[in-house]
Structure 1
């Protein structure tokens, strides 16, 4: 679906769903070429530098970094804050919150490289096949360590059993969910009750089929502390550790005597072709990019494309992403306010948007040494690739226990991150960022990414125009008259016309915008 002609607001709304920002230049560019051409240009844009190669280029394969996760943070910020393939990065970040691997509680040497290798995998398949993505995720060493598939071995007579962690989570979180779904994402019912997708027996059989996988460390002949190649090598199967007994699940059987590779292919094919995968994955991608409460019709339209695009391909994520972003429910904003429209803007995306909007997107040191922002007290309560568990930062079905949410039957997953502490922390954090820029590590006196408010400073003495500018670039035009008036009124109170006074006026305008409900809810 192409919405023509695009105006500033509709262009900004699209850009904030498809990438991380909507600057005046980005809006002008999109309006000049249209949504479809913009998407095609982004789809064809290559990765500038992989995370793994960037980490090597920066010299992070050292003994000092062997047990540090900081290089993984620096890599994530470099990738998200400076890359030109913004659609790919936005999709990869969304996928990272569905197929979760986190440096939190990841027990691997050189885990910065392991996280980088996983991020590269998400980027590689962001516009590719979900089946290929699922197989690569399963064989990824970082995931193998995170969910215990690495070293899972066949049972023996001393009581050892295959580890069931990955077998359970690959179903519950990565592919089919807990209950059977209709194409539109609503639960199928039997006698008024949801139908469970799998049983403990299913978990046990899939776990048995996935035994024998371990790290591919064969090229580290010198046992060097600086060797990192193993972090991106797919795991290999050790025949003596693989359970060759038959295993049955979802009406499919892995024949007795199958080797590890054959069993894996059957597991991946079976899960990939399950009827739940289309609606389960499609709805979560819609939630990450567009709205927390997509209508069943919206989910159905996207899931239909997941099941078969115009070439008859199943699981083509490029087609799925295009369907999500061009759907009428994403593109046409109802004139009347509806509580089901939009989503809470994730804290880490607010920071990424600030960098994309108000800086030159460059690291002053060239090292991108920006610390994790995971702390709820001192940071944002969220940081890329640092979810507290495989269940992500929040539950996709989370809803605050209030009358408004209960009455409307809606969810707000991102609000699970919010409490009094996190709210105060966000205000303090973003205020410091707006005034100083992004800090180098934890050093308060060194700036890693400097603000550039040249465009905003031109409007320092025109509060109404300044607020209208921020309303478009930060809120995609979605700011109420009440909020607009409040910010303009506050700016009019600042009469100091010294250079510092002019800066303070711009800082206040941005701060009041970025802490307003109109900004925090992306519509």
Structure 2
């Protein structure tokens, strides 16, 4: 089968090239919405159109949703989804799982990956989960980073930050991300310190006329300041309301007008200083396990913001405790929002509370000394800069020395210093959130991740308008943005409609093909275990006692086969870039093809082979090769739904009852006729609807005979099913349909193998 699969894959890649060559340049889009209140295409004309909608809005269409969408309409179904509560978040589940382990048996990122797959396949709030995955590729933190690779609990909380905000407000997402210690570790704002300027004769600086740089002259780290602008909000160049419109820079002929400069990065980096882990005094229960922390100096208790002044150095550089039993649990302060330690925040003053000096005529300043004010000047399409100025700290008109520690400052002064630090962060985030570029940047990338790689300017404008105003003068409402994306006329126009551009749609992300196939056909995890009623090491009862425990889906390292890993992008620039253009026809036509940055001959073969193993999981022993047509890959006495068989326990599989629903037919024995053309065509149409939303090309004549079995993909599949050759014999249960198990087992094999053949085809690989 390996050579057959490889040959089919190469044919698929050639077909993909042909498909691209046939696509004309995208024409301007005509308006779809009329002046009536009726939503165009609200009620899908058939099951295929319902599947197409569900493949955009979820991780993959399932039968129950198909009928609901057809009866309630796409708008009704979507509104119901947007009202669902958030599926049990990952971090509390991870903590409960870690607490259920024994001494020195620590959780790893593998557990988090299993959990992500389980939620993606089974969660009822599919729209939230799918949008969260799209957002996670815009606002990126990754377990591939050295600081986070061994932090599964923290990465689970990062997952939850994105999921909680997926249908919230984008401004809150920026807030939560900026204060997240996971982002702080990833882009190095955690313990980011201001540039310190010491007056002559103070803090070890020699007397005289020369000022000295404290902290070895270290400047604030600029990583997060750069990426929060470039990737999470305004982008690199000034854009119009349709994203595609750009503007020349009058000061630099031949270049585009930029949104920010290197100076702006440095100024914004000064704002993101002084942030570190908060300290929660006393006991914290984590998964039923007690972890304690003392926030005071010299092992004395301390509460309130006064701790950040009386134990400044101890807390700013301290790491919260971990589980002494080495099960992977961490104190909540590891993942709670960071707080500001004013001693290390740039408040526009030197270490003695004087305004930062800038007059170098009468005294010497060390290199890198900033100005007193922090000033951000961001370019806009209107040519009127969007500006923020943060002056030095004051309280009631008097200079505020936030560099002070101990009891130097009273409670009001301490609070004012904290307010100054947090106020600067909030003001900077407000500036980015309200910048004209942010709506179009978010709109275009979300459309790319969910619907089409090349949205028209009008499509982007309409979604950006929903970001700007949800209809109630609220900016950044993600529910309004999601509605605008999925209910837009361009998204809902049937793919067969002559007005639909041939380049509409997107290449499926390789890993999401696996998730979609699991959902299409009801895959389940083979692991039936539940959480124990008590924790093995004592303590409080497990908070998830009796609920499903680890559900093993696999693969735990999907980046090896699919070049993707849940919350494991190789860099802050995601798995692939939104502006990537595949060399050749795609680039020549001025189109974007982000996913093709990680899809080529080698990765396609690896993904195709892994899909084969996942689809055939359990049906053919530990080799997962579909050769048995019955579950033989697990131990004896498994739990339902296949108690009389042997499903695998370490990975997902398709229950027998689900596979039996696929209308595959084989000959009863060698003396009886093969399935009819109508029966095999019904099988192809079943997959066409359930997997591809009815978009499969071609047709099959009712009297098809080999080798003339029809046109397009349907004709090719019919030829593979019916005509002489190894593929025909394999799909139908070996030569003459007489070997390789009984008839029912051979029908299952035919169903699974055809499922795989379609899964690696170019037409399924393109979500229309």
TM-score, L = length of structure 1? 0.94
| 1:113/1:65 CA distance change after superposition, 3 Å | farther
CA distance in 2, matches of 1:117, 1:510: 36
Query: 2:186 — aligned with what?
Result: 146
Contact residue 61 and residue 228 of structure 1 kept, 8 A: no
1:337-356 equivalences under 5 Å are 338-356=501-519
Q: Give the one of 273, 277, 288 matched to 1:211.
A: 273
Q: Quote how far apart the aligned CAs of 1:360 are.
A: 4.6
Contact residue 373 and residue 382 of structure 1 kept, 8 A: no
Q: Quote how far apart the aligned CAs of 1:321 are.
A: 0.5
Query: 2:702 — aligned with what?
Result: none
Q: Give the one of 62, 79, 96 matched to 2:136.
A: 96
**Secondary structure of 1:59's partner?**
helix
| 1:486/1:373 CA distance change after superposition, 3 Å | farther
1:265 maps onto 2:434 in alignment: no
1:252 maps onto 2:388 in alignment: yes
- Higher deviation after alignment, 322-331 or 58-67: 58-67
Contact residue 347 and residue 392 of structure 2 kept, 8 A: yes
1:489 maps onto 2:719 in alignment: yes
Residue-by-residue CA offset, 1:283-311 (whole Å, 9 max, x unaligned): 00000000000000100011111111110
Q: Quote how far apart the aligned CAs of 1:113 are.
A: 1.2
Q: Quote how far apart the aligned CAs of 1:2 are.
A: 4.6
Query: 2:380 — aligned with what?
Result: none
CA distance in 1, matches of 2:609, 2:392: 60
Q: Quote how far apart the aligned CAs of 1:452 are.
A: 3.0
Contact residue 151 and residue 214 of structure 1 kept, 8 A: yes
CA distance in 1, matches of 2:652, 2:587: 42
Query: 2:551 — aligned with what?
Result: 368
Query: 2:602 — aligned with what?
Result: 421
CA distance in 1, matches of 2:104, 2:434: 45
Higher Cα radius of gyration: 2
Q: Give the one of 502, 506, 513 matched to 2:758.
A: 513
Contact residue 491 and residue 508 of structure 1 kept, 8 A: no
1:227 maps onto 2:340 in alignment: no
1:462-501 equivalences under 5 Å are 462-481=679-698, 482-492=712-722, 493=728, 494=732, 495-496=736-737, 498=742, 499-501=744-746
| 1:31/1:310 CA distance change after superposition, 3 Å | same
Q: Give the one of 653, 662, 686 matched to 1:450.
A: 653
CA distance in 2, matches of 1:207, 1:65: 40
CA distance in 1, matches of 2:650, 2:718: 30
Residue-by-residue CA offset, 1:321-364 (whole Å, 9 max, x unaligned): 00000000100035347442000000121111111122254452
Residue-by-residue CA offset, 1:8-67 (whole Å, 9 max, x unaligned): 122111111000222333211111111121111111111231111111222268774768
Q: Give the one of 39, 43, 66 matched to 1:5.
A: 43
1:42-61 equivalences under 5 Å are 42-59=81-98
Query: 1:239 — aligned with what?
Result: 342
1:326 maps onto 2:487 in alignment: yes
Residue-by-residue CA offset, 1:48-107 (whole Å, 9 max, x unaligned): 311111112222687747683223222322221221110100011000000011111141
Query: 2:520 — aligned with what?
Result: 357
CA distance in 2, matches of 1:371, 1:105: 21
Query: 1:397 — aligned with what?
Result: 579
- Higher deviation after alignment, 264-273 or 457-466: 457-466
CA distance in 2, matches of 1:111, 1:65: 15
Q: Give the one of 170, 173, 182 matched to 2:228.
A: 170
Contact residue 75 and residue 116 of structure 1 kept, 8 A: no
| 1:163/1:67 CA distance change after superposition, 3 Å | farther
**Secondary structure of 1:248's partner?**
strand
**Secondary structure of 2:142's partner?**
coil
Contact residue 117 and residue 231 of structure 1 kept, 8 A: no
Tell me how large the CA RMSD over aligned residues is.
2.4
CA distance in 2, matches of 1:401, 1:501: 43
Contact residue 61 and residue 227 of structure 1 kept, 8 A: no
Q: Quote how far apart the aligned CAs of 1:272 are.
A: 0.4
Aligned length: 520
- Higher deviation after alignment, 308-317 or 454-463: 454-463
Contact residue 115 and residue 551 of structure 2 kept, 8 A: yes
Query: 1:123 — aligned with what?
Result: 163
**Secondary structure of 2:128's partner?**
helix
**Secondary structure of 2:651's partner?**
strand
TM-score, L = length of structure 2? 0.65
Contact residue 688 and residue 696 of structure 2 kept, 8 A: yes
**Secondary structure of 1:58's partner?**
helix
| 1:349/1:515 CA distance change after superposition, 3 Å | same
Query: 1:381 — aligned with what?
Result: 563
| 1:451/1:483 CA distance change after superposition, 3 Å | same
Q: What 5-or-longer segments of structure 1 have no aligned partner?
A: none
Contact residue 394 and residue 417 of structure 1 kept, 8 A: yes
Query: 2:68 — aligned with what?
Result: 29
1:460 maps onto 2:460 in alignment: no
CA distance in 1, matches of 2:158, 2:488: 30
Q: Quote how far apart the aligned CAs of 1:367 are.
A: 1.1
1:313 maps onto 2:474 in alignment: yes
| 1:373/1:392 CA distance change after superposition, 3 Å | farther
- Higher deviation after alignment, 48-57 or 170-179: 48-57
Q: What 5-or-longer segments of structure 2 have no aligned partner?
A: 1-38, 197-212, 282-291, 295-320, 324-328, 349-372, 378-386, 394-416, 529-548, 625-632, 635-647, 666-678, 699-711, 723-727
| 1:283/1:64 CA distance change after superposition, 3 Å | farther
| 1:28/1:354 CA distance change after superposition, 3 Å | same
CA distance in 1, matches of 2:564, 2:425: 34
CA distance in 2, matches of 1:373, 1:512: 24
Contact residue 270 and residue 346 of structure 2 kept, 8 A: yes
1:289-308 equivalences under 5 Å are 289-308=450-469
Q: Say which structure is richer in helix.
A: 1
1:40 maps onto 2:79 in alignment: yes
Residue-by-residue CA offset, 1:218-277 (whole Å, 9 max, x unaligned): 344173423331233000111101010131102111121162211111111011011100
Q: Quote how far apart the aligned CAs of 1:454 are.
A: 3.8
- Higher deviation after alignment, 512-521 or 499-508: 499-508
Q: Quote how far apart the aligned CAs of 1:108 are.
A: 4.4
1:412 maps onto 2:593 in alignment: yes
- Higher deviation after alignment, 467-476 or 62-71: 62-71
Q: Quote how far apart the aligned CAs of 1:400 are.
A: 0.9
